[in-house]
Chains A and B, each alone.
Chain A
Amino acid sequence: MTTSRFTRRGLLKTGAVTGAAGLALPTIFTSRASAFTNAPMGDTVTLGFNVPQSGPYADEGADELRAFQLAVEHLNGEGDGGMLNTFSSKALDGTGILGKKVAFVTGDTQTKSDVARATAQSMIQKDGAIMISGGSSSGVAVAVQSLCQDAGVIFMAGLTHSNDTTGKDKKANGFRHFFDAYMSGAALGPVLAKAYGTDRKFYSLTSDYTWGWTQEASMNKFLSAEGWSQVKDVRTPVGAGDFSSYIAPVLNSGADVLILNHYGADMVNSLTQSVQFGLRDKMVNGKQFEIIVPLYSELMAAGAGKNIEGVYGSMNWNWQLQDAGTKAFVQSFGTKYGFPPSNAAQTCYVQTLLYADAVARAGSFEPCAVVAALEGDGSSLPGVDSASNKGLVFDGLGNGPTLYRSADHQCFKDALVMKGKSDPTGPYDNLEIVEATPVSKVWYEPDNEMFAGGDLGTCNNGA
Chain B
Amino acid sequence: MLGLGRKDTTLFAIVVLVTVLAPFLLNPFPADSAMAQFNSGYPDLMQRFAIYGIFAIGFNILFGLTGYLSFGHAAFLGVGSYSAVWMFKLLSMNVIPALILAVIVSAIFSVVIGFIALRRSGIYFSILTLAMAQMMYNLAYSVFSNPAMNLTNGETGLQVYASDPQYLKGNGPDVTHLFGLQMNSTYEMSVAGWKFDFGVGYYLCAVIMLVAFYIAIRIFRSPFGIMLRAVKSNQHRLNYTGVNPRPYNLAAFVISGMYAGLAGGLLACMDPLAGAERMQWTASGEVVIMTILGGAGTLVGPILGAGFIKYFENIFSKINENVLHSWFHWLPESVQNFVVHVLSPFFGEGWSLTMGLMFMAVVIFLPGGLVEGGLRIGRLFRRRPAPTPDAATKPAE
Residues of A whose CB lies within 8 Å of any CB of B are 1-3, 30-32, 42, 53-54, 58, 105-108, 112-115, 117-119, 121-122, 125-126, 137-139, 142-143, 146-147, 150, 164, 169, 208-211, 235, 237-238, 453, 455, 457
Contact = CB atoms under 8 A, between A and B. Distances in A.
Contact of A2 (B40, B159, B322, B348): B322
Given A53-B349, A106-B320, A455-B162, A139 B45 contact: no
B390 interface: no
Interface in B315-360: 315, 317-318, 320, 322-323, 325-326, 348-349, 352
B43 interface: yes
A117 B156 contact: no
Contacts of A114: 157, 275, 277-278
Interface of B: 32, 39-40, 42-45, 48, 138, 141-142, 145, 154-157, 159, 162-163, 175, 184, 188, 190, 195, 197, 271, 273, 275, 277-278, 313-315, 317-318, 320, 322-323, 325-326, 348-349, 352
Contact of A54 (B45, B190, B195, B352): B352
Given A30-B190, A146-B159, A208 B314 contact: no
Contacts of B43: 125
In order of increasing CB-CB distance, the 5 nearest A-B pairs are A53-B349, A139-B155, A209-B155, A121-B44, A125-B42
A98 B287 CA distance: 46
A348 B163 CA distance: 32
Count chain B CB atoms within 10 A of each CB in A115, A126, A208, A455 and give the residue with the most: A126
B271 A112 contact: no
Contacts of B163: 453, 455
Given A2-B322, A32-B188, A235 B314 contact: no
Contacts of A113: 155-157, 273, 275, 277
Given A142-B156, A237-B142, A457-B162, A112 B39 contact: no
Nearest to B283: A114
19 contacts: A30-B188, A31-B188, A53-B348, A106-B318, A107-B318, A108-B349, A112-B275, A115-B313, A119-B318, A121-B44, A122-B314, A125-B42, A126-B39, A126-B45, A142-B157, A143-B273, A146-B273, A209-B145, A455-B162
Nearest to B138: A237
B156 A139 contact: yes
A211 B145 CA distance: 13
- Looking at A125, A150, A211, A457, which has the most chain B CB atoms within 10 Å of its CB? A125
A241 to B, nearest CB: 15
Contacts of A107: 317-318
Contacts of B197: 125
A210 B156 CA distance: 7
Contacts of A169: 156
Among A2, A150, A235, the most chain B Cβ lie within 10 Å of the Cβ of: A150
B9 to A, nearest CB: 35
Nearest to A49: B320
A1 B326 contact: yes
Contact of A122 (B45, B162, B273, B278): B45
A78 B45 CA distance: 35
Nearest to B278: A114
Contacts of B195: 30
B348 A108 contact: yes
A122 B40 CA distance: 9
Given A118-B314, A122-B45, A125-B197, 20 more contacts: A2-B322, A108-B317, A112-B275, A113-B156, A114-B277, A115-B277, A117-B271, A118-B45, A121-B271, A122-B315, A125-B42, A126-B39, A126-B40, A126-B45, A138-B156, A143-B159, A209-B141, A209-B154, A235-B142, A238-B141
Given A30-B190, A105-B318, A209-B142, A54 B39 contact: no
Nearest to A106: B320
A143 B348 contact: no
A139 B157 contact: yes
Nearest to B195: A30
B156 A122 contact: no
